[in-house]
Amino acid sequence: MSRGSPDLCDLSASELGARLAAGEITCAELAESSLRRIEAVEPRLGAFLTRTPELARERAVELDAYLAAGGPRTSASGIPTALKDVLTTRGVRTTCGSRILADYVPPYDATAWARLSGAGAVLVGKTNCDEFAMGSSNEHSAFGPVRNPWDLERVPGGSSGGSAAAVAAGEAVWALGTDTGGSVRQPAALCGIVGLKPTYGRVSRYGLIAFASSLDTVGCFTRSVRDAALLLRAIAGHDARDATSLDAPVEHPGRDLEAGVAGMRIGLVAGALEEGVEPGVREAVRTALDRLAALGAELEEVALPHAEHALSAYYLIAPSEASSNLARYDGVRYGVRAAGEHTDVAEMMARTRGRGFGPEVKRRVILGTYALSAGYYEAYYGQAQRVRTLIIRDYEAAFERVDVLVSPTSPTTAFRLGERLDDPLAMYLSDIFTIPANLAGVPAVSVPCGFADGLPVGLQITGPPLAEARILRAASALEADLGLDLRPPLLASL
């Protein structure tokens, strides 16, 4: 089925960069293409919480003048960009998808956005997300759900569902999200795009409104592996304002994209294609593995013995850190304060938090507070951290045998809106394959590897710390070999 010819906003950043360099298009034309697409699809999609068309047009005109005067062009120059609404933007509302920050306008930029903006990117808006990045479906936003451009009755994944849907639908050429337990990779898989979670500390967390500080990672959404490398290169690097930022050289993550996988040792995570994985997902992943083998990769099965405990450990560590981080939303310093008369500060705080936080955030704060309470800290949080150490050692042992590990990104394709809202465990299991990489701090990428019943399936490729170039090399080889048509049906009617 033909799905129409692409507009400028449907092209990759690398393609657009070449056309901008050749003088075939202008930044202003590119911005208008993206803004038209947003106007056309946003009423049905709900990917944005705040749109910035005036800022985008103004910035694009400035860039055209700058480039015409001989200013140097970067890979990000003029590229329409969306940001998950947990990254602070000076002068632009940042809500975290929560009523408690509904009108918060930060006085500073997150480092990741400051670097991208400094490289010439054009902001078209802030994207919808599960409240404080807590969710796997983007149904936990205080401002309504996001819909999947492949099927408007299905979820885009979460918590960065708005960024994933915006890129898949061409509203932005690329976007930033955050990945605490899979919140970049899982929505990328469900929306048929590339989602990259870098090594923990590779990208600064300064200006990222925290969920779980030892897990939160700024990541990339793109429609090609090459673009993921370009976007990561623009935002990576040491930042003295982030104590967890890695002070290590940033090599070009796209340097080996054309090297192929011949001779690469690829380990399929043991059990990754067994119970709980949809048959269509299993078939698509197996086909992708066959293609990698045909390209010369050496495949074997590799066990991560303690990965079965990752979900349990994560849902003690992440809520515990969330309980601590979200204590700052007290109605005193910034954010919403509950209206009405209060007998004392404690009552005011209780009412503010009760009305300002949604049910999923409350669930996780209560769980985390309990895990950290006297008499339970060692039994729950302490034990979870010990499991985390074992998972880190599992990865270290695995990467002594193989170059990268592979598994499905998500055990299922996009599920229907509302299908899992009353079953938190089923929702949490959406991230069963992605959570271990967060606990270990290693890089991982989701790349489209096929379809199941017309919905995209993602293959997760994981590598050792700082091996982004390696996992992108494998992803690029598969992407080129499969040559999938990833233009979602939503665009066929435009």
What is the torsional sign of CA 354, 359, 361, 364? positive
Instruction: Tell me which of 84, 160, 163, 476 is the catalytic residue.
Output: 84
Is 126 a known active-site residue? no
Reading the block at residue 348, the tokens are: 């005011």
Known catalytic residue: 141? no
- Among candidate residues 77, 141, 183, 430, the one labeled active-site is 183
**Is residue 84 among the annotated active site residues?**
yes
Q: Which two tokens stand for residue 185?
A: 């990779």
Listed residue (249, 202, 216, 43) closest to 133, CA to CA: 216
- 284 bridge partner residues: none
Catalytic residue among 159, 160, 204, 476: 159
Burial class (CB in 10 A: 0-12, 13-18, 19+), 70: exposed
> Taking a C-beta distance cutoff of 8 angstroms, is the pair 44, 122 a contact?
no
The residues carrying an active-site annotation are 84, 159, 183
